[in-house]
Structure 1
Amino acid sequence: MEELTAYEEQIMKIFWKLNRAIVRDVLHELPAPKPPYTTLASTVKVLEKKGYLGHKSYGKTNEYYTLVAESDYRKKSFNHLVKNFFGGSVENVLSFLVKEKKVSEKEIQEMQKLIDDYSKKQ
């Protein structure tokens, strides 16, 4: 699975929301200022080339559909982040979040409960 640019990811989020769409549908979902239709169409073609989208033709109109589930992309992206920025260590990720105060006390307790529940299943 190839990496996506921030813009490509934005477009994929719309496809994951809509599941199937023509370029004009995606254009309507984008916030202002909207890109030119041709720019968006080119990006959709790139996403298809990267294997994220497929299409079905109806005359001159292409309806695009997702080939990669959002959950699969999320897993891959998170694993990439953990590997490349935190040395592959989930402990380093959690430590970073706690130190940067990005995690509340309640969230820490919820994570501890998840860990405890997981440990009981093992």
Structure 2
Amino acid sequence: MPGEFPIPPINEVNLDDVLAALADRLRRAVVLELMNRAPGEYPCSSFTLPKAKSTRTHHWRVLRQAGLIRQRDAGNGSFVRLRDEFTEHFPGLLEVVKAGDRASALTKSPASGTDADHS
């Protein structure tokens, strides 16, 4: 597709690169947000990433090179979407990441309501 940034063939995508990309909380948040949105592509500018263009560019490049996303240039902006064939290549991986992120958020936030240990 014209304007699409290069990505590795799906059979060359390896787990080490994927896990390294997802180890960064900002990149993981982008992938999780893409998972939660309706299927399709979205403007890169619609994601919360650092303001410095070079830093945003770095995060998008890491996600592309890891094989997680597709990104295309469209004039003054670019668009991103999850790579369709990723879930076929690593079935269940993104769901595990999503569940782990949810569990991590629960352990970091204070419990609401009454605490059974303090009755």
In the superposition, the TM-score normalised over structure 1's length comes to: 0.46
Could you say which structure has the larger radius of gyration?
A: 1
Structure with bigger helix share is: 1
Q: More relative contact order in 1 or in 2 (CA 8 Å, sep 6+)?
A: 2
Instruction: Give the TM-score normalised by structure 2.
Output: 0.47
